[in-house]
Amino acid sequence: MGNEGALWADLINLASHDLGQENFKDAMESYQQGLAISRKRESKFYEVFALQGIGDTLMRQGDPRGGRQFYEKSLEVCRADKDPELLSPCLMNVAYMLEGQGDLPRAESLLQENLELSGKTERKAVMAYALVAFAGLLVKKAQFTEARAKHEQALSIHKQLGEADSIVWDRLALAILSLEEGRPAEAEAAARDATEVFRKQKSAGSLADAQTLLARALLMEGKLQGSHD
């Protein structure tokens, strides 16, 4: 039918499925075809998505250097396009990749850049997401005080926006920090609140996360019987 946009989406979906099944050869072929279509259509969003997909495939195959090269290329495309709505997620995706490879200094540099970029937009949700991403890196660096400040800023924004689900996750993140800082009672309270919210939502995966956190808090407090609540 000549609908290249739909074809691109089909190829990316197939690639994602094949990657999940560790069928790397077919995943790579689909991502490469998707990349060719994106360049033909001069779609930077499509191109970035395909480049990062190729990067993911290479890393899953045991080639972290090759995967990083494609992620770096995707960042070059984003910078050249100069669209903040494209650059922001690109910065975060590349930063997450770098975190996974242990390059925390460069990951922090990109997340700081994203934080500054998000501060220039009027979209508060974007700013909150950038704060949460930066806080996650600070936790890995054991900079808990700084991470708490970022999570509290994100929580404040989500309260302003009335985003109930995000508020719960912010509180869970703060609860994890409380555990790291040796304050399990604070973590217990937040984990119990989150458990009730996720139970009402019938969100099994999120409920399991909250219950795991609750169990950790109770164990730190020595409340072994309470871990069955």
Q: Is the pLDDT at 225 greater than 80, yes or no?
A: no
**Judging by beta carbons within 10 Å of its beta carbon (0-12, 13-18, 19+), is residue 60 exposed, middle or buried?**
middle
- CB-based contacts of 186: which residues, under 8 Å, 6+ apart? 174, 175, 178
Q: Has this prediction a pTM greater than 0.95?
A: no
- Residue-wise pLDDT tens digits, 78-124: 999 888 889 999 999 999 999 999 999 999 999 999 999 988 877 89
The region that residue 82 occupies, defined by phi over 0 for left and psi between -120 and 50 for alpha, beta otherwise, is left
Supply the pLDDT for residue 227: 45
Q: How far apart are CA 227 and CA 229, in angstroms?
A: 6
- Residue-wise pLDDT tens digits, 12-59: 999 999 999 999 999 999 999 999 999 998 899 999 999 999 999 999
Contact 110, 98 (CB under 8 A): yes
- CB-based contacts of 136: which residues, under 8 Å, 6+ apart? 147
